[in-house]
Amino acid sequence: MKYDLEYVLDSALDGIFIVAHDHRLVLFNRACEELYRLSKEDIVDKASRKLQDLKKTLQEKKSEKEKPAYGELASEKERMVLPHKGNKEVWVETIYTPIYDQDNGEIAYVMGVIKDITEQKNLEIQKQVLLTQLSILRKDIESKYDFSNIIGQSSGILNALELAGEVAKQNTTVFLSGESGTGKELFAKAIHYNSRRASKPFIAINCSGFPDTLIESELFGYEKGAFTGAEKTKPGKIQLVAGGTLFLDEVTDMSLSAQAKMLRIIQEREFEMLGGIKTLRADIRIIASTNTDIEKRIREGKFREDLYYRLYVYPIFIPPLRDRLDDLEILAKTFISQMNREMGKQVKGLTPEAWKILKGFSWPGNIRELQNVIERLLILSKNPIIGVNEIPGYIKSAHEIKVSSRRLDPGGALPDRLSLDKCVRQFETNLIVDALKESGFNKTKAAGILGLTRSTFRYKLAKVPHERLKTGWDVNN
């Protein structure tokens, strides 16, 4: 039996040794020597020091009149790097276990087991690296979405920033309203990353991007077999965002069925997955947004009034860019600086005439449109200063129409409401009159100047108000 035990221990891949209380080596298996290249003297030295520590702990327990529980003193561990077979170094963990004398209860032996934990150690190192990277990324995100990075000095944007800053630390539901492209999601992220929930997830869902049949499964998740195709259980956004912030973008496009369930979440902080029977808690903060007239949607019966009052606790209006044109230049310069770094460009700015055209545009796409225009300008720019010729055609055309319209008005002011058709007609009229003057009121030459056939020119000329045609225009017809 003794020889069978020695054979088994020598076959083990872990190093195993036993040292008596008198520092006598009782057992020393082959792995200790062949795998870890430990000498018997090293083993005895290490075990003896650990034996003294275990005896000291045992005496302290006895002085306190406590009987050590089974395995209580077996948690002595030691990690180190040892040379291993094949001339490589490995991380090992040695677990020291005391073996008691049955007669007097004293420690008679200490057994050590040496385990190779290199793979575990590498995973721990990788985990620590990932945690460090995560911490750095989180700090980068928090700094990126700090309120100070929302640029603007106009009264409207400063008021929105003040309101957002005051509510960020609270758990209050926030309702953001404003046109598409004004930066509602940027505000939502700034509120989240400056709140007590900053370390938890921020998840945005565009309610207009899902058909009615899918929005509920995206929000609430579903159990296996809840509907055809539900082959496995899938958690919804509400579960994934646990402890964090759920941003409901374009909330007015949410189906009425989903609205009813969302109302329950806000009121009761609980919900069920589709096809599920278990009630789940919803520890989330909700920030909602819309670019439409929500009160009109209520009157049309497309949005629940009771949900509106639950969401409209703390409204923040984000003004469109046309109402904060004083911020346009600083916004554009910020985008130029960012894109210079990304593209390796050295664009310094725009000419005064180009700035004038940009500031005179209405920007229906708001800041998102401005950012896209600046990106296009930098891609196409060949010079450090961007001029008028590089401004997109549709922006220059709008500027020319506005200038032409002002020419038509005796007072030099653009009418408050000018339809697109009227603007186009006035613009065409100005071009036709200018071409007639340049050609000496010769319709054939005027048509050539404008790149039109004579018949098309005559058709458009017929629409020109008679008072715009000067005396003598019919000469050389």
pLDDT of residue 45: 80
Percent of the chain scoring above 90 in pLDDT: 42
Quick one: three-class SS letters along 60-105?
HHHHCCCCCCCCCCCCEEEEEEEEECCCEEEEEEEEEEEEECCCCC
pLDDT of residue 143: 64
Residue 469 DSSP SS3? coil
Q: For strand 107-116 and strand 285-290, is the pairing parallel, antiparallel, or unpaired?
A: unpaired
- Which amino acid makes up residue 415? P
pLDDT 10s digits, 134-186: 777 766 666 677 888 899 999 999 999 999 999 999 999 999 999 999 999 99
* Residue of 200 and 77 predicted with greater confidence: 200
Reported as a pLDDT band with limits 50, 70 and 90, residue 206 is very high
Reported as a pLDDT band with limits 50, 70 and 90, residue 29 is confident
Contacts of 259 (CB under 8 A, 6+ apart): 303, 304, 307
Is 469's pLDDT higher than 80?
no
58 in Cβ contact with 47 (< 8 Å) = no
Quick one: tokens of 249? 């973008």
| Average pLDDT estimate for 344-355 | 93
Lowest mean pLDDT among 19-28, 242-251, 386-395: 19-28
Query: Where do the structural domains in the chain lie, given as residue ranges?
Result: 2-121, 154-319, 322-391, 406-468
Is 444's pLDDT higher than 70?
yes
211 strand-pairing partners = none
| Average pLDDT estimate for 330-357 | 93
pLDDT of residue 220: 92
Reported as a pLDDT band with limits 50, 70 and 90, residue 414 is very low
Q: For strand 174-177 and strand 314-317, is the pairing parallel, antiparallel, or unpaired?
A: parallel
Mean pLDDT value across the chain: 84
Is 388's pLDDT higher than 80?
yes
Is 283's pLDDT higher than 80?
yes
Right CATH for 322-391 from 3.40.190.10, 1.10.8.60, 3.20.20.450, 3.40.50.2000: 1.10.8.60
* No. of helices (H) and no. of strands (E), the chain: 18, 16
In CATH, the number for domain 406-468 is 1.10.10.60
90 in Cβ contact with 37 (< 8 Å) = no
What CATH architecture applies to the domain 2-121? 2-Layer Sandwich (3.30)
Is 416's pLDDT higher than 60?
no
What CATH architecture applies to the domain 154-319? 3-Layer(aba) Sandwich (3.40)
**Nearest residue to 153 (alpha-carbon basis) of 289, 329, 315, 317:** 329
